[in-house]
Chain A
Amino acid sequence: MDVALTTPVAEGDPPKAGGPPGLVLGGAGGLRAISFAKPNRGLPRNREKDQIIRASGPQDLKDDLGRPFPLPERTQERIVSMAPNVTEILFALGLGDHVAGVTRFCDYPPEARSIRRIGGLVDPNIEVIQSLDPGLVIAFRGNPLRLVDRIRKLGLPVFVLDIGEGLEALFPLIAKIGRVTRSEERADALAAGLRRRLEAVDAAMSGAGTRPKVFVLLYGQGLWTCGGESYVDDIIGRAGGTNVASALPKKWILYKREQILKDDPDVIFILARSGKDFATGRDWLLRKARVESVAAVRSGKVYELDENAASRFGPRLVDVLDRMVRLLHPELFGERP
Chain B
Amino acid sequence: MSRKTGRRLFWVVCLAACLAGFLLSVLTGPVKTTPGDLLRFIQSHDRVQAAIFIDLRLSRAVLAFLVGAALALSGAILQGYFRNPMADPFVVGVSSGASLGAVIATSLGFEAAAFGFSGPGLLAFISGLGIVSLVYVLSLRRGGFKVETILLTGIAAGALASALTSFFLFMRSDSYDQAVFWLLGSFQLAEWRQAATIAPWFVLCFVAAIWLARDMDLLALGDETAQALGCSVRRVRKAFLVMSALLAALSVAVSGVIGFVGLVVPHWVRILIGPGHRALFASSALAGGTFLLYCDLLARNILAGELPIGVITAAVGAPFFLYLLHKKR
Taking a contact as CB atoms under 8 Å apart, the answer to whether A123 and B306 are in contact is yes
- In the bound complex, residues from chain B placing their C-beta under 8 Å from that of A150 are 188-189, 191
Does A122 make an interface contact (CB < 8 A)? yes
Does A120 make an interface contact (CB < 8 A)? yes
CB proximity of A78 to chain B, nearest CB, Å: 12
Instruction: Choose among A121, A123, A142 the residue that contacts B188 (Cβ–Cβ < 8 A).
Output: A123
Taking a contact as CB atoms under 8 Å apart, the answer to whether A120 and B305 are in contact is yes
Does B227 make an interface contact (CB < 8 A)? no
Proximity bits, A112-143, B CB within 8 Å = 1, else 0: 00000111111111111011010000000010
Taking a contact as CB atoms under 8 Å apart, the answer to whether B174 and A130 are in contact is no
Does A104 make an interface contact (CB < 8 A)? yes
Does A144 make an interface contact (CB < 8 A)? yes
| Interface bin, chain B | 20 to 34
Instruction: Choose among B30, B52, B111 the residue that contacts A145 (Cβ–Cβ < 8 A).
Output: B111
Does B85 make an interface contact (CB < 8 A)? no
Chain B residue with the shortest CB-CB distance to A153? B191
- In the bound complex, residues from chain B placing their C-beta under 8 Å from that of A131 are 30-31, 48, 52
Which residues 165-186 of B sit at the A interface, judged by CB distance below 8 A?
173-174, 177-178, 180-181, 186
CA distance A149 to B188 in the complex (A): 12
Taking a contact as CB atoms under 8 Å apart, the answer to whether A252 and B173 are in contact is yes
Instruction: Choose among A130, A147, A252 the residue that contacts B51 (Cβ–Cβ < 8 A).
Output: A130
Q: Which of B111, B113, B178, B191 has the most CB of A within 10 A?
A: B178
Instruction: Choose among B52, B178, B305 the residue that contacts A119 (Cβ–Cβ < 8 A).
Output: B305
Taking a contact as CB atoms under 8 Å apart, the answer to whether A121 and B177 are in contact is yes
CA distance A147 to B30 in the complex (A): 18
Does A251 make an interface contact (CB < 8 A)? yes
Binding site for A on B (CB under 8 A): 29-31, 48, 51-52, 55-57, 111, 113, 118, 120, 173-174, 177-178, 180-181, 186, 188-189, 191, 300, 304-306
Known: A122-B177, A125-B30, A150-B189. 6 other contacts (CB 8 A): A123-B188, A127-B52, A131-B52, A144-B181, A146-B118, A149-B113
Can you list 16 A-B contacts (CB < 8 A)?
A: A117-B305, A119-B305, A119-B306, A121-B177, A122-B178, A123-B181, A127-B52, A127-B300, A130-B51, A131-B30, A142-B177, A144-B178, A154-B55, A154-B56, A251-B174, A252-B173
Binding site for B on A (CB under 8 A): 104, 117-128, 130-131, 133, 142, 144-147, 149-150, 153-155, 251-252
